Structure 1
Amino acid sequence: MPSAAERTRTLVQSTCSAVLIVPGADGARPDQLVPDARTVGTDGEVFLLFPADSPPVRAATHAQAGELAAVLEITDVAPVAVPNRVRGRAWVSGWLTCAPGIAAPGHMMLRLEVGELYVDDLWGDGTVGPEDFARALPDPLTAYETELLQHLAATHDDHVQALSTLLGHRASDGPCAVRRVVPLALDRFGLRVRCRDAAGRWFDARFDFPEPAGNVHGLRRAMHALFETAQADHGQG
């Protein structure tokens, strides 16, 4: 499974929604606290792009001692329609300063020096140290996950439903039989789905790949193998 540091790094560098919580910006509109862009520097610091007249930039500019305590809150929402769509959250707390000369005119880059991180997602929850965060790499499939999950749900629903044959006793007929399977999350280690049984209860299941998929080509091979296994089991059933 991916480490907590890797999962946090993946969320920070993904397209998940994010909001910067800073003292002195209590009256700001929610959209004024959303960075236009974010990236992670070589030392693990998080760079956040804001309009030059935004509340976070004004707060960082006028902060005493040149730095301001702040928290970047990230929310990960499943890109397909499932119950309980929030897949995870991460919080990056640290000290905020302006980084002039980096952004285009009309904007200011803010630098968040990371002090502590916390992640709570489908894998579990835990704290992450700034050193581990700086060394971690994001999942190589994160840039493609949204498109791939939506493609699976829209175009390959028959293959997705066939995965229920791999769920053992829950795939059999009866009150707990699986009636619906929806792709929920994808990373280099495997595919997670959300299932509904005949009683209307939802539960998650995960299918691990034989080996991590380092790129889209590796993922395609892993997914084909998974679907072929499911179809073979379906045929035997």
Structure 2
Amino acid sequence: MPSAAERTRTLVQSTCSAVLLVPGASAARPEQLTPQARAIGPDGEILLLFPADAPPVRAATHAQDDELAVVLELTDVAPVSVPHRIRGRAWVSGWLTCLPGVAEPGSMMLRLEVGEARVDDLWGASPVDAEAFAAAAPDPLHAHETELLQHLHAAHGEQVRALSGLLGARSAAMAPTRDVAPLALDRFGLRVRFSAGPQQCFDARFDFPEPVRDVSGLRREMHRLFDAARSDRC
């Protein structure tokens, strides 16, 4: 199971939506609080790129002599159509400062020094301290997850559906008119959502024998998983 710090780090370094909650900027439009890009610095700080005239930049500029406390809110939405598409959220709180001269003209790089974080996702809700966040690494599949899930859904839908055969009695209890879609993928396994309507759904987790390191390893494990489901049906 990925740690809470790893899951938070993965969300920060993924393409999921993010908004920077800044005191005094409640009247700003959501797009004005959305960074154009984000990255992790060498000490675990979060680097956020904004237009030079964005509300977070103005707030950080005016607070250079003081600590500007902010929260980066991230929302993770499943890349395939499923009931209840929000897979999780994370909140990273800390202190915001400007980094002049780092970005291109017309833009400003902001530095978010992480104080603490919290993640609430498919694995559950957990706090994350700054040291654990800085030491964690994102899931190695995070850059490919959207493409891989969409490919599984579009090209291997029947094979994903056949995984229900590995659920034993739980599969037999499901409604016959269910929808099946791959919901999440990480180095430890695949999560699938089975549903017979918005209010009748559950998730099943299919763990790999060993964590995978890359897409090639994932491909091998997916073939083994599909072969196991096919053998169960024979």
Q: TM-score normalized by structure 1?
A: 0.95
Q: Which runs of no fewer than 5 residues in structure 2 stay unpaired?
A: none
Distance 1:9-1:200 versus aligned 2 partners, 3 A rule: closer
Corresponding residue for 2:226? Answer: 227
* Cα shift at 1:101: 1.3
* Cα shift at 1:171: 2.2
* Cα shift at 1:24: 1.8
Q: Percent identity?
A: 69
Deviations 1:200-227 (A, max 9, x none): 7100000000110100000000000000
Whole-Å Cα distance in 2 between the matches of residues 3 and 181 of structure 1? 27
Q: How does 1:69-84 map to 2 (within 5 A)?
A: 69-84=69-84
Distance 1:159-1:106 versus aligned 2 partners, 3 A rule: same
Deviations 1:7-58 (A, max 9, x none): 0000000000000000121211110000000001111100000000111100
Secondary structure of the equivalent of 2:82?
coil
Secondary structure of the equivalent of 1:224?
helix
Whole-Å Cα distance in 1 between the matches of residues 80 and 174 of structure 2? 26
Amino acid at match of 1:69: A
Whole-Å Cα distance in 2 between the matches of residues 200 and 22 of structure 1? 36
Whole-Å Cα distance in 2 between the matches of residues 138 and 178 of structure 1? 37
* Cα shift at 1:176: 4.7
Amino acid at match of 2:17: S
* Cα shift at 1:170: 2.4
Q: How does 1:132-151 map to 2 (within 5 A)?
A: 132-151=132-151
Q: TM-score normalized by structure 2?
A: 0.96
Deviations 1:123-155 (A, max 9, x none): 011110100000000000000000000001111
Corresponding residue for 1:87? Answer: 87
Whole-Å Cα distance in 1 between the matches of residues 198 and 154 of structure 2? 25
Q: How does 1:27-106 map to 2 (within 5 A)?
A: 27-63=27-63, 65-106=65-106
Q: How does 1:1-237 map to 2 (within 5 A)?
A: 1-63=1-63, 65-172=65-172, 176=175, 179-197=178-196, 201-235=200-234
Whole-Å Cα distance in 1 between the matches of residues 140 and 198 of structure 2? 37
Whole-Å Cα distance in 1 between the matches of residues 219 and 134 of structure 2? 30
Aligned length: 234
RMSD value over aligned CA atoms? 1.6
Whole-Å Cα distance in 2 between the matches of residues 141 and 110 of structure 1? 27
Whole-Å Cα distance in 2 between the matches of residues 43 and 199 of structure 1? 43
Amino acid at match of 2:179: R
Amino acid at match of 2:40: V
Whole-Å Cα distance in 2 between the matches of residues 199 and 102 of structure 1? 47
Distance 1:143-1:64 versus aligned 2 partners, 3 A rule: closer
Whole-Å Cα distance in 1 between the matches of residues 61 and 179 of structure 2? 52
* Cα shift at 1:63: 1.3
Secondary structure of the equivalent of 1:65?
coil
Q: Which runs of no fewer than 5 residues in structure 1 stay unpaired?
A: none
Asked if 2 retains the 8 angstrom alpha-carbon contact of 1:171 and 1:177, the reply is no
